[in-house]
């Protein structure tokens, strides 16, 4: 069921976009599937989220879970972690408001996601730059975690094609890679409105390429890319295993590079760890500068929250920002999700954002802070026994010993923290949760026949303390 839930999240993301999924869908968690009743129980952190998700997304849940579970009828039951009399009262109040056509915060949000900058320059090929004008250097909060990357991006704009070419932004999901790519594009255009800038996701590049082949339009495709001054390619990791696309891209890269045109990439994996990418392309990605983005610290999170609230004409007190930042979380996208939920609730129920209200909305969800500490503790203990640290564990290196250490880590994380495969995957830089499921299964099997391993695991568990009854 965990796997089905993960599949569902992927489909939801394709349909609703990552923001809605981070903000609302992931606010509920899968609790139980009752096969005989064909009933799925979904747990919400509070009544507000429950009502919201039920009102807006029930059909989506029904449609896709039914299909994924291969059943022909389904009942979705939403419930709140621990319902209290108080929350029931809130429920009715919110249910009333939720019926209102469109909530104000959401209007703003919708407006925001469709507010793309108008194409500043439309050339003969009708190329549009696809830049989102809201993602700028000005709206990007610089902290210890991203100061190197953001300085590199600014330097790139100052010396286009000359200083760091290509620039590769590297870091986990939701840490600001896309934001910075757009910032470069917007800044370039504000300085030179005639520059030809293109922001392109790797997915779209692949589709464009496939269509060009299908409809015999390769010359147009090539011509379009060859006249670009600044090419911003997002999530290059998705080019893995797409040999033909890589080939086409390789030539585009060379042409642009040879004529000193600026290229910037983002990736959530280091190219050298990226399976399925041709060596010559890998090496080119690292020709220039690689700048990484890390998880922000508390003070940066607070600054980001305040900035985002301000952009929505809300003032967030220090105390409130601190509280939200502490509950969240491992990346900025989740942080924004929490803020949106808090502001939506405040606006729908006509209340000010108070400590009490934040507690109500964010409820007992988001224990991620402690999870990260627990994950950290586990990797440290594993390192003591297996000598490999987080870098190796997160890498794509499949040397036997590293693989074993990594599988043991996944196994312990599941056992000790009981977190989802997705969270474990995110922490260990693994996109595909089936890898983690397999690893856990494998260690479970091995343990039964390998006494040494079994003993070592017992020691590890003992060292991790008395959590969960060990």
- Give the torsion sign (CA, 300, 305, 311, 316): negative
Give the DSSP letter of residue 99: T
Asked whether the beta carbons of 154 and 182 are under 8 A apart, the reply is no
437 is a contact residue toward ligand ADP (CB under 6 A): no
Q: Exactly one of 50, 54, 64, 177 binds ligand ADP (CB under 6 A); which one?
A: 177
Asked whether the beta carbons of 313 and 347 are under 8 A apart, the reply is no
178 is a contact residue toward ligand ADP (CB under 6 A): yes
We find the least distance from the C-beta atom of residue 173 to ligand ADP, in angstroms, to be 5
170 is a contact residue toward ligand ADP (CB under 6 A): no
What are the structure tokens assigned to 371, written together? Answer: 């999870």
Q: Which is nearer to ligand ADP, 268 or 374 (CB)?
A: 268
Q: Exactly one of 45, 166, 174, 271 binds ligand ADP (CB under 6 A); which one?
A: 174
What are the structure tokens assigned to 84, written together? Answer: 């209290």
Quote the CA–CA distance of 128 and 125 in Å, as a whole number: 9
What are the structure tokens assigned to 382, written together? Answer: 């594993």
Partner from ligand ADP, Mg ion, none binding residue 140, C-beta < 5-8 Å depending on class: ligand ADP
126: left (phi over 0), alpha (psi -120 to 50) or beta: left
The crossing angle, in degrees rounded to 10, of helices 202-214 and 243-258 is 100
267 is a contact residue toward Mg ion (CB under 5 A): no
Region binding ligand ADP by CB under 6 A among candidate stretches 110-118, 169-177, 195-203, 405-413: 169-177
What are the structure tokens assigned to 221, written together? Answer: 């495709």
Q: Which is nearer to Mg ion, 234 or 365 (CB)?
A: 234
178 is a contact residue toward Mg ion (CB under 5 A): yes
439 is a contact residue toward ligand ADP (CB under 6 A): no
Give the DSSP letter of residue 132: B
Region binding ligand ADP by CB under 6 A among candidate stretches 47-55, 140-148, 154-162, 283-291: 140-148
141 is a contact residue toward ligand ADP (CB under 6 A): yes
Residues 277-316 that bind ligand ADP (CB under 6 A): 304
Q: Which is nearer to ligand ADP, 289 or 416 (CB)?
A: 289
- Written in H, E and C, the secondary structure of 299-330 is HHHHHHHHHHHHHCCCCCCHHHHHHHHHHCCC
Binding site for Mg ion (CB under 5 A): 177-178
Binding site for ligand ADP (CB under 6 A): 135, 140-141, 146, 171, 173-179, 304, 332-333, 336
């Amino acid at each position: 069921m965990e796997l089905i839930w993960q599949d569902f999240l992927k489909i939801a993301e394709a349909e609703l976009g990552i923001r809605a999924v981070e903000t609302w869908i992931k606010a509920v968690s899968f609790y139980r599937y009752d096969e005989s009743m064909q009933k799925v129980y979904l747990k919400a952190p509070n009544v507000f989220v429950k009502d919201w998700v039920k009102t807006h997304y029930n059909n989506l849940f029904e449609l896709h879970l039914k299909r994924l579970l291969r059943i022909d009828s389904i009942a979705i039951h939403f419930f709140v972690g621990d319902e209290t009399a108080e929350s029931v009262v809130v429920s009715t109040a919110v249910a009333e408001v939720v019926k209102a056509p469109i909530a104000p915060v959401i209007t703003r949000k919708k407006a925001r996601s469709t507010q793309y900058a108008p194409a500043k320059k439309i050339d003969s090929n009708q190329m549009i730059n696809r830049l989102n004008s809201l993602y700028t250097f000005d709206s990007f909060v610089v902290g210890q975690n991203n100061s190197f990357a953001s300085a590199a991006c600014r330097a790139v704009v100052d010396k286009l094609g000359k200083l760091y070419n290509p620039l590769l932004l590297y870091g986990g999901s939701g840490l600001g890679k896309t934001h910075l790519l757009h910032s470069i594009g917007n800044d370039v255009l504000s300085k030179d409105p005639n520059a030809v800038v293109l922001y392109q996701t790797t997915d779209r590049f692949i589709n464009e390429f496939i269509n060009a082949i299908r409809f015999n339009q390769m010359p147009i495709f090539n011509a379009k890319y060859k006249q670009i001054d600044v090419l911003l390619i997002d999530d290059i990791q998705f080019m893995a295993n797409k040999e033909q696309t890589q080939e086409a891209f390789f030539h585009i890269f060379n042409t642009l590079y040879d004529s000193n045109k600026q290229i910037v990439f983002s990736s959530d994996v280091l190219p050298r760890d990226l399976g399925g990418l041709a060596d010559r392309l890998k090496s080119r990605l690292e020709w220039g500068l690689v700048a990484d983005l890390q998880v922000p610290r508390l003070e940066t999170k607070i600054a980001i929250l305040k900035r985002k609230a301000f952009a929505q004409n809300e003032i967030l007190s220090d105390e409130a920002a601190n509280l939200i930042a502490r509950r969240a979380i491992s990346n900025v996208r989740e942080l924004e999700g929490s803020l949106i939920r808090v502001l939506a609730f405040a606006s729908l129920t006509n209340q000010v954002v108070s400590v009490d209200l934040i507690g109500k909305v964010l409820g007992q969800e988001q224990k991620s802070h402690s999870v990260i500490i627990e994950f950290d503790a586990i990797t440290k203990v594993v390192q003591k026994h297996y000598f490999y640290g987080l870098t190796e564990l997160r890498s794509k290196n499949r040397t036997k010993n590293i693989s074993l250490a990594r599988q043991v880590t996944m196994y312990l994380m599941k056992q000790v923290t009981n977190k989802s495969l997705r969270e474990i995957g995110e922490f260990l830089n693994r996109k595909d949760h089936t890898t983690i499921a397999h690893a856990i299964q494998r260690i479970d099997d091995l343990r039964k026949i390998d006494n040494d391993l079994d003993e070592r695991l017992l020691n590890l568990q003992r060292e991790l303390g008395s959590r969960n009854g060990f």
